[in-house]
Amino acid sequence: MQYQRSALKWVFPTLDLDTLGSSAYAMKFPERWFRRGFDVFGASYKCMYICVVGAGMFQCGSFEKL
């Protein structure tokens, strides 16, 4: 019951997306292995922004369920 009230099922996907985005940015994932292939689309900071927005959507979903 406490698990449902605290909305922990929404916290873990948020944490996963934030970790995925920050690690992709820290490793410079696509740019390091494929030089000049991800200058406009698919750069690591854009992947990070997509993960952060997704995490924010999960966070908003948890507020709606409370």
pLDDT digits (tens, 9 = 90+) for 34-55: 777 777 777 888 888 999 999 9
pTM for this entry: 0.71
Distance CA 36, CA 59 (A): 34
**10 contacts: CB under 8 Å, gap ≥ 6:** 58, 59, 61, 62, 65
- Asked if residue 12 lies in contact with residue 19, where contact means CB atoms within 8 angstroms, the answer is no
Over residues 3-23, the mean pLDDT reads: 80
Question: Which residue is listed with tokens 């200058």?
Answer: 39
Over residues 23-28, the mean pLDDT reads: 86
Please determine, for residue 7, whether its predicted confidence score (pLDDT) is greater than 70. no
